[in-house]
Amino acid sequence: MAPSTANPAAPAASRSARRRKMWGTVAFHGSASLLSVLWLVPIAVVLITATRSFDDIAAHGLGSMPHTFTLGGFRSAWTDGGQQQALINSLLVTIPTVLLSLLLASMAAFALSRYAVPFRRALLLLMLSGNLLPPQILLIPVSKLSEKLGVYDSLYALIGVQVGFGVGFYVFVLHGFMRSIPAEIQQAAVIDGAGPWQIYTRIILPLARPALAALTALSFTWIFNDLLWSITVLRSDSKMPITASLLGLQGQYVSQWNVIAAGSVIAAAPTVIVFLRFQRHFVAGLNLGAVK
């Protein structure tokens, strides 16, 4: 957008100016593609390693060009490595956590942004502050708390702590968004006889859809990628979500790089799909969260 304004009807666009622009373009694409290649090489290496056979890697080394193509690594990771169960666990945790946190957060944000709730600002910041705490301070008490509740080593504990820890941030972001919805819309609804519940479900939630979409994409990734909470409240290998099970895979298949690489690909695939599918929401979400 900048170049169009920076390019007025220059007096006599000389040849040297045009040449300089061309060199600028070449320099740009040269440096940008070099950077992109640098960034994509590790991903390419993993994708290639995942499809090589163990013997190939053992014979030619990890850094060599592939001599084989097989999906055996994926098969090992998926069944023997327990990644299938782990992926199911991940989804069993991630989907309810995302839905529940955004439901709770949108309710609180609605109340705090549309009504004169006493101490609303203090409440908002209190909730946000909980999310900013370093999780380390919570690890020991949370693991003991879940033991006491009898949910230690169950996915419920993981859902509970992830909802509790994440909700403050989502409230803060949604509050900022809902605050900008014009008051007239709500007033019109009140005149038509709508109560808070109707205003919330029929007016504010639909209008907050862009923010909710952004947070859905973002929170899905965060929760799916979590390691620390999983290894804090879970113990059994069969219950671990995919991120934690990668560590198990790393221990189980020491130096079988095709299996480990395949496991990493499986673990990364869902978030990459979400990113590619909802790229715009995703990037919007990152910027929504930034306090200006």
Closest separation in Å from C-beta 282 to another protein: 8
* Least distance to another protein, CB of residue 199, Å: 8
Q: Give the nearest distance from C-beta 249 to another protein in angstroms.
A: 8
CB of 240 to another protein, least distance (A): 11
Stretch that binds another protein, among 15-23, 75-83, 122-130, 206-214 (CB under 8 A): 122-130
CB of 246 to another protein, least distance (A): 5
Return the residues of window 57-96 that contact another protein according to CB under 8 A. 61-64
| Distance of alpha carbon 162 from the chain centroid | 13
Among 111, 151, 207, 213, binds another protein (CB under 8 A): 111
- Using CB under 8 A as the binding rule, whether residue 233 contacts another protein is answered as no
> By CB under 8 A, what part of segment 130-159 binds another protein?
130-145
The single residue among 96, 176, 207, 213 that binds another protein, judged by CB under 8 A, is 176
Binding status of residue 283 toward another protein by CB under 8 A: yes
Binder of another protein out of 91, 92, 95, 104 (CB under 8 A) = 104
Q: Output 15 or 148, the one with its CB closest to another protein.
A: 148
Tell me: does residue 99 bind another protein (CB under 8 A). Answer: no
For 186, the token pair is 């709500």
CB nearer to another protein: pick between 70 and 131: 131
In the numeric block, the tokens 């592939």 are attached to: 66
Between 70 and 128, whose beta carbon lies closer to another protein?
128
- Of the candidates 258, 251, 254, the one whose C-alpha atom is nearest the C-alpha of residue 59 is 258
Instruction: Count CB atoms within 10 A of the CB of residue 211.
Output: 24
CB atoms within 10 A of CB 242: 29
Taking the C-alpha atoms of residue 141 and residue 153, their distance in angstroms, rounded to an integer, is 15
User: Could you say whether residue 180 binds another protein (CB under 8 A)?
Assistant: no
- What are the backbone angles phi and psi of residue 290, rounded to the nearest 5°? -80, 120
For another protein, what does the binding mask look like between residues 16 and 45, x meaning CB under 8 A? ---------x--xx-xxx-xx--xxxxx-x
Between residue 241 and residue 270, which ones bind another protein under the rule CB under 8 A?
Answer: 243-244, 246-247, 250, 257, 260-261, 263-264, 267-268
Query: Does the protein bind another protein through residue 177 (CB under 8 A)?
Result: no
